[in-house]
Structure 1
Amino acid sequence: MAETRLIQSRYRLLDVIGRGGMGEVWRARDESLGRQVAVKCLKPLGSQHDQSFTRILRERFRREARVAAALQHRGVTVVHDFGEHEGVLYLVMELLDGRNLSQLLEDNKQHPLPVPEVVDIAEQVADALGYTHQQGIVHRDLKPANIMRLADGTVKICDFGIARLGHDIGFTSRLTGTGIAMGTPHYMSPEQISGGDVDHRSDLYSLGCVLYEIATGVPPFDLDDAWAVLVGHRDTQPQPLRSHRAELPGFFDQVVLDLLAKAPGERPVDAGDLRRRILHGRTGEQPQAYGHVRLAPPVLVEHPAGTHPPRLPSWTRDMTTGHKATGTAAAGFPLPDHSAGLTGEWTTGTDLRALPGSFPAVRGERPTPSPELLSTLANRHSAGLNLGRLGHWEEAGEVHRAVAAERAHALGPDHPDTLASRYEVGFTLSRTGRAADALREFGRVADGRERALGPDHPETLAARQETAYVLGQLGRHFEAHQVYAVVLASRERTMGRDHPDTLRCRHNLAFNLSRLGRLEDSYRMAHEVADARSRLLGATHPDTLVTRYEVAYTLGRLGRWEEALRAYGEVAQARATSLGSDHPETLSARYEVGVSLGRLGRSAEALELYRALVDDRTRVSGPADAETLRARHGLGVNLGRMARWEEALTTAREVCAIRERTLGPDHPDTLVSRREIAVGLGWLGRWADALTVYRQVAEARTRVLGADHPDALASRNDEAHCLEQLGRGTEAVELYRQVATLRQQRGAPSGQG
């Protein structure tokens, strides 16, 4: 970005005014309007980051832009524009003339700010938060570096970079699963730390931490060790502000202590309530009683006997201690702290005077593992994830199984980190064809997460959803439907209908409905999800296109092939533009275009498409790749439809031979190719040869799938038809009778013959 200097032929970058872990902020000139602006740019990501990681960062930045651009209040930084230029995402904001609160404290040599200034800042921030909360937006990262005081005295909240819509709680937590640290521990609410429900009252707690610091010169828990800070937020009542600074007014002391209540319900109801209390205090009026008076010395919060406080959640694994308001950061863009990450269990009854350092083991509890061991296990877990991304599922599974065993020993079987490893074990099992084993593993993870986190926690629901997916792999679609329905109801209740995780569940449910034969229901649901994803993510977003693909598939199942052809064509074109012409998902959509053309009787067009697809698949993946062979199979089918049966038979034999060698003689794809050989032989009048091949297919399917499986029954029907062509009518009738009986038995209620 520095080399281009000019963005979209409009914004000329002048000099850097701030840097952070995700990017940098420039002072720039808007050449169109002749005004100075601030441009925040997302750093280009190098080759060391995989595409999934890059996409998460980009989605997070775009989310920031959309949320911030919707806010119009004098107490919130104005966003003028956002977009992408040469692969770099940017956000154009008003250029602020002032200092953030962190810098003001540094300017004041870490002494507290003047009392009138502190109270004025509190009132202005409360007013701005009242507005943003009414819009359904929670900031989630309020801290001194994100609050600016301008030269004219105006106070503005900056950087809604990790804000989230109120009904969309949970989405950013999912994004942070990749290790992107969110929030700063010195200013995080207890519920934010423990992974509980987060709403506007979490912002009020964070504001309480900020006000405490600018009023006294120190944060409420002035500890350098991240563990101690987190435990302080969770377990320790803060000292009254006036124990640090006697001249602070009593009303302000009480307001801040109420903001720092451990339970959200004990804090002010909302930012409007907070602002009214500050106004009453400034004017000397006596408002009604608010909350409880908390002027006692610091004490540890007791937990009921036999219970444990929440553990440190797994998403804090890569969180650093963060910055107190030391003034070492540029306005609105704090520099990252690279101290050691956190993981492990909470402990109870720990004397804070034993900190900093590792917690001592409490008698009767699991000893706290060493930071070195936890770091090693976290690195090995990441290595397993990388192996999976490369498609090395067997090796990834071995790594995750070993890490899961060690984490269970060190942290406990229900620790979030242990369950995270076991979740990945289940994932690798499902990707290596061991669906039954994966089902058991996901079931254990879901039960463990429900015990530790609750039935509606996003991680619990993720495990339940994978359980449903594996049930579908096993052909147990009715059971999968039941699980999906329960998960969907929970997601809609706790996250909202348009939350990305809710939409993913609805997509999977639509897919499963089509496998249950409920095609109209599947089509309606998939269409709704595709429209929602298009509205929220964009028409060419990969998730939108996946659902559009499912819509097209269901249209084909419904016999609406003209519509299916258009839908597949649109998906293929969009994927070629956004992912590239050789991307596997682009090639898959092109294959389905060919299927649709063939179904519409446009076999000549389908044939040309498949010839080009075979060439592309061979170039990208090789001649023996499963998808290359799938394209060659489609080519052979359309040769047959054009009555070019000798060529069709040759193609089917070549594909069958490679599939038998690479997949095995009884693999479903091999048997499909063998059946195509029999079809070609029949059309060439070689019915005796065709009968031999049809019987081979029927016997293999009966052996592998069972005598009453629909595919086995279809093969027996093929065999009976062949017998008819050979003039062996009696044998054909008897075989048809056997098939009818098996079909009737298969459809009979359980317990009946």
Structure 2
Amino acid sequence: MAQIPDLIRDSKLETYFLPDCTVETVHRFQESDSASGQRLVTRLEHWRRQRRVGNGGFGTVWLEECIKAGRPGGTQDGTVRAVKQIDMDTRFGSIEYNRELEAIAKFSHSRYERCFVKSFGWYEGPGQLFIAMEYLETGDLFAYLYQKPLPPLPEAEAKEIAYQILDGLCMMHENGFAHRDLKPNNILIKSHPPDKWWIKLADFGITKRIEESHGQSTTIKGTPRYFAPEIWGFAERGSAYAIDIWAVGEIVFEILTKKPAFATPGLLAGYKAKQDFPVIMLTDAGIRQPGVDFVLSLMCPRPNDRMTATSAISDAWIQSPMLQPLGSTKAIEGEPRVPSPATIMTDVSTSWTTRTYSEAPGDVSHDISSSTTTVELVNAARDKTIVPQENNLTLTLAFRAADFRSQHRAGDSFYRQKRYKEAEIEFRRVLQGREETLGYDHEDTLYSAHALGLSLHPQKCYEEAETVFRRALHGRDRVLVHNHEETLYSTYRLGLTLYHQEQYKVAAPMFRQAFLGREKTLGYDHRHTLCSAYWLGLSFYRQKRYKEAETMLRRTLQGREKTLGHDHEETVNARECMDRAHARALGLE
């Protein structure tokens, strides 16, 4: 390989094979030893092959165990790793896979480890390329979905997996990399229910590059149902990023239905010609319209019509959490069961990630070639496009904006895992950075302030959360219209924070403002509207204004019976609270 980039060269492992090279591999390291005070020592690691854990068209994945480590505190004896062995057919000449190895090396950095299978380096043998990586014993998503005769995963789990895939793609695309071979086999599972979902992306298209180098780019191999129309020649080629987005759509479709959207190329060609997407397969699986719309937006026939990874991760379906069972506060004798705002939010928008447009000003357009040197930033909130000139200040701002987006997604990931302190740290960093670069009242700065408040609330830092939510509310009142959805959301969250501090008299006007605004902008029976009414009713109840409490809780009950059904837990909860308020109003309790 000519002109190997430093990142690739530095990740290559100096390796030799013992006489029986199918059994034992030795890596040689030269490094300093602080324990002995020696400037330069040579360390050897011996790895022995255990068993095959996977195979494909161009090679095998082996499980290997470290049987001899040369440094205390380093790799330990008994440590295991996975080694992907890719067989190179030298009849086709040398193969340039620098770009793929660069991606593997880059995304093995600790800042990306939540999204990508970590590589420990690469090495070569006669006609073979080896990539050493972390071993995830659960296996890949394809095996998880199809090896057992189980029904499709719940929509909430599909949403979480989609979010994590897009989180990784955002990192890749923002750094100028496309995966190019995204499929369930290349999505490895670190944990799954009953634990939390945690998946990692692998491969980075290196097998695809080898296929192409073998002259097989027109003889499509692999699993065709993950190939976008343009790969088949049914549509004009667009950005390589758009190919990744199509694959995400197909993966989500399969998670929800356990069936491919287009089982044959002929069906896919028909979709391109007639725009006839198999929506009925999603609706038959019980998927609601936001989920259907999300899949459709990823699987547009024309590449440039598909969402970007950044816009997809901010989509309403991804950002709105599924309903969870209601919790309760510590019981107060004689009081109604009241959900605790610290542990459960019945409003869909109580997840901090409710923005329905791009989270930050920077959103990469599919119309831009991946090789262009121009940085284009699309402000989704204001529909403005900025094409900066090639100067240090502009590029610095562009890169800082990308860094803020990455940090914000890290905070999002921590928040979803209920690692609130870590989320708080990330949001503080983003907030400080956006204050310095965008200004105190910029819309995205205010968004970060709101996110910080959400991370503080479950840690019971109510006073600081109140301060942050007030700041977000006052700023949004100035920057956005008074009844803007995000302004109302900050109003609502401020009310919850005050309520949790038992400041019921001050919380009630916040809930009233959110209720009236949402009723006007979202509709009479929208879930957010009903949630605002519910908490307003509880605020009245806590002030012993039982008649007013009964009125608002009855309003909530009627709406929930209509939209959720009589037996839904939220409906039942509203009914119990209303009955208690009614009894208190009549002096029966």
Fold equivalence (TM over 0.5): no
Q: TM-score, normalised by structure 1?
A: 0.34
Whichever structure has more helix as a proportion of its residues is 1
Whichever structure has more strand as a proportion of its residues is 2
Structure label with greater radius of gyration: 1
